Structures are given as C-alpha cells and as structure tokens.
C-alpha cells in the first residue's frame, strides 16, 4: 500500500523545503521526496511530493510541514495504486545529455554516438539518474576537466548515490583508482548493480571501483586510499561547508575538488570554507538555480594526511 502527500508552492519555497529535507538527518529513509515545476509554462509554480510505503500518520504530515519552516502550504494525501512507488515518482525520467555523457533508463535506447558514453541507470533509484541539475552539471564539468588536460590517477566520489559520477570519472580516466561512498547502506547494492549493468569493474586495482559506506570522509577505506587528485561531492551546502577541512586533508596539493548540491545563493559560504581549507576556484558553472564548482588545492601546502 503506497501513499503520496502533495504540497503546492512557489519554486523557492519548494526548493528550500528540499534543502531542509536533505539536512534532516533523522528523516525516514523510506520516504522519498521530489520537487518539480507543475508545467513548462508555469516555471515558478512547483509541487512537492512525498511518497510513503504506508498510510501517512499525523506525525508524517507534521514532519513534512516542518520542512517549510514558517507557514506550510496545504498538504493533500492520496492513496496510490499498488505498484513500485519509487518508480512512480520517477516515471517521467527521460534521457539527458551532459558533457560527453548520455544517461538513460532501460526504457530508452542508448545513443551509440562516437565520442559519447552511454550510461543506463534504472529509474527506480531516486537520486543520481542524471536528471537533477547538480548531477548533470557535474557530468558537464568532468568533461571540461578532461578537455582541459587534467590527469587523474586516484579519485573518490563522496555521496555517490547510484554511482553515476564515479562511473563517469572512470570513463574519462580509465586507469585511475576509484572509490565511491555513501551514507546510505542501500547504495551498496545499487552501485554494484549499476556497475554490472554499465561494465564498470569493482575492486581495488587500477581502473576498478571500490564501494564503501561512510558519513563524509569518515571511513578507513577512504582514508586508506588517500590522497586523491580528484574528489567529487554532490551533496548539500551545509555538509560541504562542514567537510571542507576533511577535503583539504584528503586531496593532494594541486589536486582537484568538484562540488555540487549547493544553490547559487549558498555558493559564497561554500567557497569561503574551501578557501580556508586551501582551495581556490578554477572554474564554475550554473545549471538552473544550482552552482557547480571546480576548485584546486594550493600546490604549496604539504598534505597533512598519513
């Protein structure tokens, strides 16, 4: 039995609620939230949808309303047909092209175009299908890094979700050592399945990918495979600020840091934290309301790691 709670509000209000949700560490992991515009000709009118594998309680409705901070919009409840409710939330996932990458679900064909890499990511996996502006922006920025002559031998993707950005890094630098991590243990099987479906070998050798569960960089696997000359973190502005010192310790002098998950209004705070950790901006791009930052660690600071 699946249910959905729906709230309609201005785009800024819904986006702020989504950010509050990501920062709510005690949020029920079974409840998936999505936010989107109601129609292409109404870009400022958005809907927030919360999918539940059960009938929502008063506490569930109160938790959703709390994401809006002040006065919450009206929240409507509706029972859904018996089906995969996460897949329903992602039913409109269409292929995207970002940089040299074409990302699609199994429902769509591969592009098979010279110079383009196809990745197939099932729509039932809510985050990391490439649809979100931050994921697509990272794919584009990774492509720019490669075109600029960046050479990567050891990379890590923090908060990997479906594994897509780690797969993209391996595609661009096929002999690099790869590490992917996520705070959610469910992502282990997700990444393993997607790696198998996209021909990405798992293991600890060159050209292979290691998957681990970790909060930020707090993992013996991540520490043991450091230092990195590329670290990717597509998470949220708050955690990016908190993790900036850890990123400074994990990235080699002269190494690269690719950050996303921050709104353009949050960029200044993230950049200040990274500046204090020894990073300088190499390039930035925006995708919708989101910033994607490519930073480099100052080459004159010794790595204070192992």
3 state SS for the chain: CEEEEEEEEEHHHHHHHHHHHHHCCCCCCCCEEEEEEEECCEEEEEEEEEEECCCCCHHHHHHHHHCCCCCCCCEEEEEECCCCHHHHHCCCCCCEEECCEEEECCCCCCCCCCCCEEEECCCCCCCCCCCCHHHHHHHHHHHHHHHCCCCCCEEEEECCCCCHHHHHHHHHCCCCEEEEEECCCHHHHHHHHHHHHCCCCECCCCCCEEEEECECCECHHHHHHCCEEEEEEECCHHHHHHHHHHHHHHEEEEEEEEEEEEEHHHHHHHHHHHHHCCEEEEEEEEECCEEEEEEEECCCCCCCCC
Q: What is the reported pLDDT for 305? A: 44
* pLDDT tens string 79-105: 876 655 455 555 556 788 899 999 988
* pLDDT tens string 294-306: 999 998 644 444 3
Q: What is the reported pLDDT for 223? A: 96
What lies within 8 Å, CB to CB, of 87 at 6+ separation is 123, 124
Q: What is the reported pLDDT for 82? A: 60
Q: Is the peptide bond before 85 cis (omega within 30 degrees of 0)?
A: no
Q: Report how far Cα 167 is from the mean position of its chain's Cα atoms.
A: 13
In the β-sheet with 75-80, what is the strand arrangement from edge to edge? Answer: 32-39, 42-52, 2-10, 75-80
Domains and CATH numbers, the chain: 2-89 (3.30.70.120), 96-297 (3.40.50.150)
Successive 10-residue mean pLDDT values, the chain, 306 residues: 86 87 75 79 86 88 90 88 53 79 88 92 60 85 96 96 95 98 89 95 97 93 97 92 96 97 90 96 91 91 45
Region for 101 from its dihedrals, namely left if φ exceeds 0, alpha if ψ lies in -120 to 50, beta otherwise: beta
| pTM for the structure as a whole | 0.74
What lies within 8 Å, CB to CB, of 146 at 6+ separation is 100, 172, 173
Smallest Cα–Cα separation from 158: which of 98, 247, 242? 247
Q: What is the reported pLDDT for 131? A: 55
Which residue shows structure tokens 């050479």?
151
């Amino acid at each position: 039995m699946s249910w959905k709670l729906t709230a309609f509000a201005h785009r800024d209000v819904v986006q702020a609620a989504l950010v509050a949700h990501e920062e709510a560490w005690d949020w029920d992991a079974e409840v998936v939230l999505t936010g989107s515009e109601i129609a292409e000709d109404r870009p400022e009118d958005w809907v927030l949808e919360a999918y539940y594998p059960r009938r929502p309680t008063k506490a569930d409705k109160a938790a959703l309303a709390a994401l809006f901070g002040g006065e919450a919009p009206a929240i409507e409840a509706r029972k859904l047909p018996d089906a995969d409710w996460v897949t329903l939330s992602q039913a409109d996932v269409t292929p995207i092209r970002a940089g040299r990458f074409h990302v699609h679900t199994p429902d769509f064909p591969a592009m098979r175009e010279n110079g383009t890499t196809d990745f197939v990511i099932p729509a039932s996996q809510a985050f990391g299908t490439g649809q979100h502006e931050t994921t697509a922006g990272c794919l584009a920025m990774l492509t720019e890094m490669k075109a600029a002559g960046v050479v990567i031998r050891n990379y890590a993707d923090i908060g990997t979700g479906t594994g897509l950005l780690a797969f993209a890094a391996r595609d661009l630098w096929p002999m690099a050592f790869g590490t992917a991590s996520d705070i959610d243990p469910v992502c282990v099987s997700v990444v393993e399945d997607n790696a198998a479906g996209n021909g990405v070998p798992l293991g600890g050798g060159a050209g292979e990918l290691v998957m681990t569960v970790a909060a930020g960089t707090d993992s013996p696997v991540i520490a043991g495979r450091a230092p990195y000359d590329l670290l990717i973190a597509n998470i949220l502005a708050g955690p990016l600020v908190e993790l900036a010192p850890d990123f400074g310790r994990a990235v080699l002098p002269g190494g690269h840091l690719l950050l996303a998950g921050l709104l353009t209004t949050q960029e200044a705070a993230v950049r200040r934290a990274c500046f204090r950790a020894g990073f300088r901006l190499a390039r930035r791009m925006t995708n919708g309301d989101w910033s994607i930052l490519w930073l480099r660690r100052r080459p004159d600071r010794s790595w204070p790691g192992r």
